[in-house]
């Protein structure tokens, strides 16, 4: 393999490794994470750092006592 092919293979491997290791994290939410609200919101909206794959993603909402409320 010549030098050009070696460099190309290295670049391609970084592209695929980077996408395989990418994870979505919570960017922000409404109501804000950790906020205290007195009445239940009609909806909870979250913004993620990456797009999610619906088949492999889930979201659970808990109240201050740790009880799931979604």
For the question of whether the overall pTM of this predicted structure is more than 0.85, the answer is: no
Which of 9-18, 25-34, 55-64 bottoms out in mean pLDDT, i.e. has the lowest?
9-18
Output 68 or 13, whichever has higher pLDDT.
Answer: 68
Angle at 37 (CA atoms; ends 45, 30), nearest 5 degrees = 15
Report residue 48's pLDDT band, with 50, 70 and 90 as the boundaries: very high
Q: Which residues of 53-69 are buried (b: 16+ CB within 10 A; e: fewer)?
A: eeeeeeeeeeeeeeeee
pLDDT at position 58 is 86
Q: What are phi and psi of 13, to 5 degrees?
A: -65, -35
């Amino acid at each position: 393999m010549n030098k050009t092919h070696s460099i190309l293979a290295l670049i391609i491997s970084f592209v695929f490794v980077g996408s395989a290791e990418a994870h979505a994290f919570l960017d922000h939410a409404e109501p804000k994470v950790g906020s205290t609200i007195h009445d239940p919101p009609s909806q909870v909206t979250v913004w993620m750092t990456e797009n999610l794959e619906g088949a492999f993603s889930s979201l659970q909402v808990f109240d201050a006592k740790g009880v799931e409320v979604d």
